[in-house]
Amino acid sequence: MARTGRPRAFDKDQALERALLLFWSRGYGATSVQDLVDALALERGSLYGAFGDKRQFYLAAVQLYWDTYERQLVTALEAGPVLPALREVLANPARAQEYASDVGVPHGCMIGNTTAELVPQDDEAREIVARSHARFTRIVADALRRAQAAGEVTQAATPEAQAQLLLFTVQGLSLVARAGLDTSAALAAVDALIDALRA
Amino acid sequence: MARTGRPRAFDKDQALERALLLFWSRGYGATSVQDLVDALALERGSLYGAFGDKRQFYLAAVQLYWDTYERQLVTALEAGPVLPALREVLANPARAQEYASDVGVPHGCMIGNTTAELVPQDDEAREIVARSHARFTRIVADALRRAQAAGEVTQAATPEAQAQLLLFTVQGLSLVARAGLDTSAALAAVDALIDALRA
DNA sequence: CGACCTTTTGTGCACGCGGTCAAAAAGTCG
DNA sequence: CGACTTTTTGACCGCGTGCACAAAAGGTCG
């Protein structure tokens, strides 16, 4: 750990957070390095020095996005009845119109955006996405298993199958939301699913 | 309608079909005009002359994709019991590993891909996507209404809410499939959903 | 046959992209 | 203070892109 050298003039974590917002709302391809330079108020070379190239920078932002999301997910599910918490997990993207990006569109889920844009050509992106999917289903399945045991959730299907279904729904909902959503219709669909899980 | 002039040397419909395959597997941004020129075996100028610019070309391909999909959807739902047909509609992308693209990845749903990549910045793309969503839910809701009346499908939720839920699931499934899917787990999730719709 | 029209062909071009680099600056430490 | 290390700065580069254009070619029709 070198204690010498010119100190970094910006906050690396904060820069990554801002980059996350940009990447989230515009996607990878539509966010140019110049956009980042402008938004983060630092010079090109500093960016490359701190984060490597654009791809690594994006992947770091995705990882940060997931870590944050996972923390919220775990918190939401660890206490109280599971179904209301899951309802919120789904309802959140359904009401996401207010999180409109700078181009006036909901961001959707950044994991889903990455799946669509990067995964076909980028194995590292695919790993991050696949790992996120696996963690989501594991966390949700664990909660559902407890809820099945408690008689809150139907045992008509395994917790794993139910969790997988919830993953599909969250991802699809977030994606469809980007094209514009009738919020009440979306919430009705969410309720239909949650009701179907009820014991 | 001018009946004169040098005749077009290639089949426009066929060129569009081939372009569809390219765009489908690689996405918009990752498909260069040069790629198209090579794959369609025509010259740059001819392409621009026949289809306008790259964006219009892509949107035409998306429209063709949807028209084809819609036709299949209607056919699948118009005869026989609805739930098995819907099960197939969902199971199809779940088994789509064999439709691996030239980069070794399932294509996913082109409407979903377009949502993720183009919609945030392109109002015309957004219209195409939104219209596709609306048509999907209308077609599926109509089928579900008949099935509810026939006692095949539960009336616990409205056909519209059920159709919306199916839209989310299809889109989510197609998306998640791109990152790699445990086919049997996905099918179990599909079955869980179909069972939940049963009366 | 020749005027006319449309497509083909292939070159050419300007732009914006991601990425690099050398010199200056800002620290630490002996 | 001066050697050393790391970051900052901003100019710079090569490349691939989407696209335009002029000349040639292949048709129809009077």
For position A91, what pLDDT does the model report? 94
Mean of pLDDT values over B181-199:
95
The burial class, CB within 10 Å (0-12 / 13-18 / 19+), for B71 is exposed
Which residues in chain B have Cβ-Cβ distances shorter than 8 Å to A158? 188
Average pLDDT over residues B112-123: 85
- Mean pLDDT for A104-124 is 84
d(CA B188, CA B166) in angstroms, rounded, equals 15
Residue A100 confidence (pLDDT) above 70:
no
pLDDT digit string (tens) for A118-141? Answer: 887 889 999 999 999 999 999 999
The gap between A13 CA and C13 C1' (Å) is 42
Helix (H) and strand (E) counts for chain A?
9, 0
pLDDT of B170 above 70:
yes
Residues of B within 8 A of A141 (CB-CB) are none
Q: What is the pLDDT of residue B142?
A: 97
Residue A23, pLDDT above cutoff 60: yes
**Within an 8 Å CB–CB cutoff, is residue B55 touching chain A?**
no
**Structure confidence at residue A108 (pLDDT):** 83
Mean pLDDT to the nearest integer, B4-25: 83
Closest nucleotide over all strands to B48 (CA to C1'): D19
Estimate the share of chain A in helix, then strand, then coil, as percent rounded to the nearest 5: 75, 0, 25
pLDDT of the residue at A1: 47
Instruction: Note the pLDDT of residue B101.
Output: 47
* CB-to-strand D contacts below 7 angstroms: A 2, 4-10, 42-46, 49-50; B 3-7, 31-35, 44-45, 48, 53-55
CB contact under 8 A, A120 and B165: no
pLDDT on residue B102: 44
- The mean per-residue pLDDT over the stretch A90-103 comes to 69
- Determine the length of chain A: 199
Question: Nearest Cα to B128, choosing from B47, B68, B177, B67?
Answer: B67
User: Of A52, A29, A31, A33, which Cα lies nearest the Cα of A42?
Assistant: A33
In chain B, % of residues over pLDDT 90: 58
Q: Write down how long chain B is.
A: 199
Q: Read off the pLDDT band of B3 (50, 70, 90).
A: low
Nearest CA of chain B to the CA of A181: how many Å?
9
Mean pLDDT of B115-132: 89
- From CA B28, how far away is CA B58, in angstroms rounded? 7
Distance CA A195, CA A189 (A): 10
Percent of chain A with pLDDT over 90: 75
Taking residues B177-183, report their average pLDDT: 91
B163-184 mean pLDDT: 95
User: Of the segments A100-114, B52-66, B118-132, B153-167, which one has the largest average pLDDT value?
Assistant: B153-167
Give the Cα separation of B165 and B159 in Å (integer). 10
Per-residue b or e along B72-90, where b marks 16 or more CB atoms closer than 10 Å to that residue's CB: ebeebbeeeebbebbbebb
* pLDDT over 60 at B98, yes or no: no
- What is the per-residue pLDDT for B106? 63
Mean pLDDT, residues B67-88 taken together: 95
Q: What is the reported pLDDT for A103?
A: 46
What is the pLDDT averaged over residues B40-60?
86
Q: Report the C-alpha gap between A165 and A159 in whole angstroms.
A: 10
Which of B168, B169, B184 to substitute to test the interface with A, most A CBs within 10 Å?
B168
pLDDT of residue A115: 93
Higher pLDDT residue, B103 or A75?
A75
Q: DSSP readout, B118-136?
A: TGGG-HHHHHHHHHHHHHH
Q: What is the least distance, in Å, from the CA of A73 to any CA of chain B?
A: 19
Give the pLDDT of residue A102. 45
- B54 near A CB under 8 A: no
In whole numbers, what is the pLDDT of chain B averaged over residues? 89
Out of A77-81, A184-188, B9-13, B182-186, pick the least confident: B9-13
Q: How high is the mean pLDDT of chain A?
A: 91
